[in-house]
Amino acid sequence: MPSMNIIVTSLKGGVGKTTSSIYLSATAVNRGYDPVTLIDADPQASSAEWLETWPLTGITVVEAPSERMAIRAVGRVEGLAVVDTPPGNERITQAIVALADAVVIPTRAGGVEYSRVMSTLELIPARIPRGVVICAARLGTNDLEAAIEWWKEQKLEIWGVIPERVGIAAGPEARLSREGLEGYDDVLNRALRGWR
Ligand SMILES: Nc1ncnc2c1ncn2[C@@H]1O[C@H](COP(=O)(O)OP(=O)(O)OP(=O)(O)O)[C@@H](O)[C@H]1O
Ligand SMILES: [Mg+2]
Task: Tell me the per-residue pLDDT of 27-74, one tens digit each, with 9 for 90 and over.
Answer: 999 999 999 999 999 999 999 999 999 999 999 999 999 999 999 999
Which residues is 107 bridged to in the sheet?
Answer: 134
**Protein residue whose Cα sits closest to atom 13 of ligand 1:** 14
Q: Is the CB of 174 under 6 A from ligand 1?
A: no
The residue among 22, 41, 25 whose CA lies nearest residue 33 is 25
Which one of 8, 12, 19 would you pick to mutate in the ligand 1 pocket, going by the greatest count of ligand atoms within 8 A of its CB? 19
CATH 3.50.50.60 fits 3-192, yes or no: no
Task: Find the 136 Cα to ligand 1 centroid distance in Å.
Answer: 8
A 10 A CB-CB count for 2 gives 8
pLDDT band, very low/low/confident/very high, at 108 (cuts 50, 70, 90): very high
3-state class (DSSP) for residue 18: helix
**Protein residue whose Cα sits closest to atom 14 of ligand 1:** 14
pLDDT at 114 over 60: yes
**Closest ligand to residue 20's CA:** 1
Which one of 9, 18, 138 would you pick to mutate in the ligand 1 pocket, going by the greatest count of ligand atoms within 8 A of its CB? 18
pLDDT at 144 over 80: yes
pLDDT at 196 over 70: no
Task: Find the 170 Cα to ligand 1 centroid distance in Å.
Answer: 10
Residue 34: what residue type?
A: D
**CA separation, residue 35 to residues 57, 59, 68, 107 (Å):** 11, 7, 23, 28
Residue 187: what residue type?
A: V
3-state class (DSSP) for residue 38: strand
